[in-house]
Amino acid sequence: MNILVVGGAGYIGSHMVKRLGQLGCKVTTLDNLSAGHRDAVLCGEFVQGDMADKALLNQVFAQGQFDAVMHFASFIQVGESVQEPAKYYANNVVNTLQLLDVMRAHGVKQFIFSSTAATFGEPQYAPIDEAHPQQPINPYGRTKLMVEQVLADYDKAYGLKSVCLRYFNAAGADPEGQLGERHEPETHLVPLVLQAASGRRAHISVFGRDYDTPDGTCIRDYIHIVDLCEAHWLAVQHLAQGGASDAFNLGNGNGFSVQEVIDTATQVTGRTVAVQEGPRRAGDPARLVADATRARKVLGWQPQYADLATIIAHAWQWETRK
């Protein structure tokens, strides 16, 4: 297959590009390198540029003959989305609409969209399945939900088929050690804990110990980046085989608290992790755990690295790379 990966130089996109290359796909990465890294694109063709640049998009599509598009080029920080909503609506919604319209103009009809648990808002029950109401509580989540709704309308009107994959907490790194998480600044728990373990950071701050959870810290469902990428590949195949547009929650169904992540990292690395107590971070639900039964049933998704220690071990291999 011939696939365009928008945002293919970022954390999730770069792992996806590597996987597609291994699967024998022809891959083109479009990335403006605002957050991604050129050297993370391990195969295929690379085009540096922005989704906002319609002339460039038209040029890339005219040359590409793509079977499908995967879109990883969104801004992802919840807190920043509250401070700077315009930036989020412009990139995550307006630029995505432009990408979809260029796809339509070039007759490309299959789209895999990176959505998020943040579209659900404050959980009404756990684990969260696809029937859970979607009531996002921040602009980031709203941008993702808007695109999900646009995609439903575009399917009905234009026959553009899509799969929305709602990630819970992506973590871990390429088991072969070639790729990993390199956000600048880093805000995610697993890499921050490992930076505290390696000495790159003085400590990790625990954002609140007064949640209604067994140890008082927030619970999240960590999913290995390789398992996440596999779900994208299955989603592309689902559409290629004539499957209907759909949306799936992606997580392992196991919740781990911030303290459990720190404890597991301590065991995996054999290092001490200095911990500082901090206040709650605005907008953090106490517990986010996925019910991914539908992804297993419909896509045949089978996570390989569901174990938190393995996820952390792979991220540690990346953190300690030479």
Active-site positions? 140
C-beta closer to ligand UFG: residue 41 or 286: 286
* Closer of 57 and 250 to ligand UFG (Cβ): 250
Residue 320: C-alpha distances to residues 41, 180, 213, 226, 314 (Å) = 20, 11, 32, 19, 10
- Choose between 228 and 313: whose C-beta lies nearer to ligand UFG: 228
Distance CA 267, CA 265 (A): 5
> Residue 277: CB partners within 8 Å, gap ≥ 6?
205, 206, 209
Q: Tell me whether residue 169 or residue 245 sits nearer to ligand UFG (CB atom).
A: 169
Closest residue to ligand UFG, judged by C-beta, is 218
* Bridge pairing between strands 204-207 and 219-220: unpaired
Contacting residues toward ligand UFG, per CB under 6 A: 76, 78, 116-118, 140, 169, 187-189, 192, 204-207, 218, 220, 258, 281, 284
Minimum distance between the CB of residue 98 and ligand UFG, rounded to whole angstroms? 22
Q: In this structure, which amino acid lies at residue 9?
A: A
Q: CB of 260: closest distance to ligand UFG in angstroms?
A: 11
- CA torsion sign for 91, 195, 280, 252 is positive
Sign for the pseudo-dihedral over CA of 122, 128, 129, 131: negative
Q: How far is the CB of 120 from ligand UFG (least distance, A)?
A: 8
Within the chain, how many helices (H) and strands (E) appear?
11, 14
CB of 65 to ligand UFG, least distance (A): 32
Q: Furthest-apart CA pair in the chain: how many Å?
A: 56
